[in-house]
Structure 1
């Protein structure tokens, strides 16, 4: 993600209608990812939790949008210190001119703000997959608001703010490996360690109820991710965004194939769930690294992430933490891998001159910077998220009752069900000629 740049007054950029239009399209693509995530997660849960899973993503759109305009953008991207930003000019966004440019770039502040808004929307929504089936909707909504404020906003400032400590250190995160994926994955781990396991974890079958829905969601995520990644260079003037676009496709394909190969060797089958999960793992891993590596490097990043994430999702059964939809195994692990591999595969010919170990950095300089960024975000998000979950659990109560969980959280929290079959199979809805069915000319109900 390109933060504000410092330019001389004589070199002040002018508004570019091409870059502005491109970034508006990218913003819409990133927004589409959250409904895509809702379908992806919604298909992975049991039928009795489908609507709740959809709603946990959709409510994030509403809550984060309002808070981002009120204060989130100001705290994340204003200039103050290395840990948190502030700019009173951006509180409420009511004093921003229509053609006021984001410093150093050719797009309006409004465009940069709304693009960043979509990142802020999807990040807490990612956490919802780890706590499926068992959390009160009201508690989740409050958690989203608090987590955005306490966790996402500071981390986004560290990584992407012009005076953020991680950015000034030289940590590379093109589009959110640390700020989005490690942040959400570590946050998910912190929450599930507090609220505990689902009823029947490791005993009852908890298979996805709709794999076509999962594949639809994965497809929407893949499509929207081009805006997520390529748009993060904030323009099309030097080819870096094009490199990121190519690497996004390449790494995702490599990760999907690697995951499928792993599960065929390990479990004896190529599954649709594996294909969808592998694609997401590749998207996650290339998010921080795609502007720094070559397409060949992207193949390596994707393949490594595909195998590593496929292996990581089984750790929940070994260690006993109930990560319902593998947010930790895919997003946290994938984000860590993608961020650290920059230290090996960065060519110095993409977004910056920084190189990795395989391209001459034998002092491991960039690798250590990546470790610093990864470790700080992981540790802060894990602890802060666990504290928020603990406080909410001790006050409002985070979980539904055991009876509500067993009978179905959709009915308990939303008074609805995802699929209504009450209108099928009864009454005369048509007639067919009977000879093919019963050897007579009598009409029968279909």
Structure 2
């Protein structure tokens, strides 16, 4: 065991965990004021739920002894059995305790599930979301993490995931995290349908852009643990990926803002935040496979492509509320395929891309990895979503959506002093409090409208 490597991985795990509260701010700022708490609760709910599932079965399904030819791990490490030995007998993963590796991979599972929630903002039941999160983690994320991340060998023979064995390069999760979450987000957007007033109601614009910028900053900060921590050591590979994790989102921000300026005439703060995230998504699989110069090119490409891709929802008529598809699925595909073009043989991940004379071999493997994960995640997520819709229901009522999901589902408001004169605490709780607050909102709206029209009477 190496103390420096262990310290770096534990610190990286903490950085990646911070990304999910950062995501809560990023998504929360992009929603309406009356849905921000529900949006943030979806991220915190993912932390609570997936953290428990990971310790019980998730780690074993993802990194346990391989079963079914690289498709999934078995349950020999249920409840971390065999991982918790102490003292000199503590099992290692490389130069770090396996327990540190368990924690590092846990936060990857958490944020993957949380990312999906942005596609169904403003209209989803919290309980139904939690049911989906649990089923997605077990049926989709845990198996896919095994396919992509498990590189275990036994007796000199490879016994890990099949995509890893195929030679797909995904250093930190472009397929398992971002394409996976983006495809699931597309499936749920189709299941729940469009928000009321989608594409027409100006109230669907982000309500708090400083929240968005803060969330993007926290995501970027945590992403250094996400990518550099995946080296599982404090070494040159971690330094290499750190530089790429800096420069790619910088370039992507410029690429996104350039598209905005040319297309709309304005470079926006929302665009800057979204561009940075798009660059982080794209460099995730490629951070140890391409040089910093290629990382700049990838960043500009990802920023521009994702800026254009977010508009596809209006053309094709699906309501991906916070652009999970346009940023994470598209950005993940761009980064994963780019490896097949620009992977340099001198980079830590190895592999030789088309531009370095490697032919189409690596590009073909990258395409298999990207589109296999996309298809599997989309189909299974669609089936889970349809099952929930048909049983307990997935979408709130039109009345609850109009009044605000925060009040209808959580009986709270984020800005209660400004909105209703209250303090956000409802001693009655439940439906009584929600009904009371909805009535108050309706009355306030009526008074505001009447005042503007000059029709207030005694």
Superposed pair shares fold, TM > 0.5 = yes
CA deviation after TM superposition for structure 1 residue 140, in Å: 0.4
1:255-290 Cα deviation digits (max 9, x unpaired): 001100110000000100000000000000000001
**In 1, are the aligned partners of 2:93 and 2:101 still within 8 Å (CA)?**
no
Name the structure 2 match of 1:285: 282
**In 2, are the aligned partners of 1:131 and 1:323 still within 8 Å (CA)?**
yes
Measure, in 2, the Cα distance between the counterparts of 1:371 and 1:27: 29
**In 1, are the aligned partners of 2:209 and 2:270 still within 8 Å (CA)?**
yes
Residue 19 (1) aligns with residue 5 (2): yes
Query: RMSD of the alignment, in Å?
Result: 1.5
Name the structure 1 match of 2:273: 276
Of 9, 13, 17 in structure 2, the residue corresponding to residue 31 of structure 1 is 17
1:95-128 Cα deviation digits (max 9, x unpaired): 4213556655111111000000000000010000
Where has structure 1 moved over 4 Å in runs of 4 or more?
99-104, 422-426
What does residue range 172-251 of structure 1 map to in structure 2 within 5 Å?
172-205=169-202, 206-237=204-235, 239-251=236-248
Residue 380 (1) aligns with residue 376 (2): yes
2:24 match: secondary structure: helix
Measure, in 2, the Cα distance between the counterparts of 1:248 and 1:98: 35
Measure, in 1, the Cα distance between the counterparts of 2:349 and 2:217: 31
CA deviation after TM superposition for structure 1 residue 294, in Å: 0.2
Name the structure 2 match of 1:93: 80
Q: Mind listing any 5+ residue stretches in structure 2 that lack a counterpart? A: 152-159, 423-458
1:158 match: secondary structure: helix
Going from structure 1 to structure 2, the CA distance change for 1:424 and 1:104 (only over 3 Å counts) comes to: closer
Name the structure 2 match of 1:75: 61
Query: What's the TM-score once normalised by structure 2's chain length?
Result: 0.87
How many residues are paired up? 409
Measure, in 2, the Cα distance between the counterparts of 1:355 and 1:341: 11
Question: Does 174-183 or 185-194 show the bigger shift?
Answer: 185-194
1:374-402 Cα deviation digits (max 9, x unpaired): 11000000000000000000011001111
Measure, in 1, the Cα distance between the counterparts of 2:25 and 2:349: 36
Query: What's the TM-score once normalised by structure 1's chain length?
Result: 0.90
Measure, in 2, the Cα distance between the counterparts of 1:66 and 1:49: 26
Residue 127 (1) aligns with residue 116 (2): yes
Measure, in 2, the Cα distance between the counterparts of 1:256 and 1:118: 26
Residue 111 (1) aligns with residue 109 (2): no
Of 410, 414, 420 in structure 2, the residue corresponding to residue 414 of structure 1 is 410
Name the structure 1 match of 2:264: 267
Name the structure 2 match of 1:12: none
Measure, in 1, the Cα distance between the counterparts of 2:144 and 2:385: 18
1:46-93 Cα deviation digits (max 9, x unpaired): 1010100010000100000000000000000112231001241x2112
CA deviation after TM superposition for structure 1 residue 351, in Å: 2.3
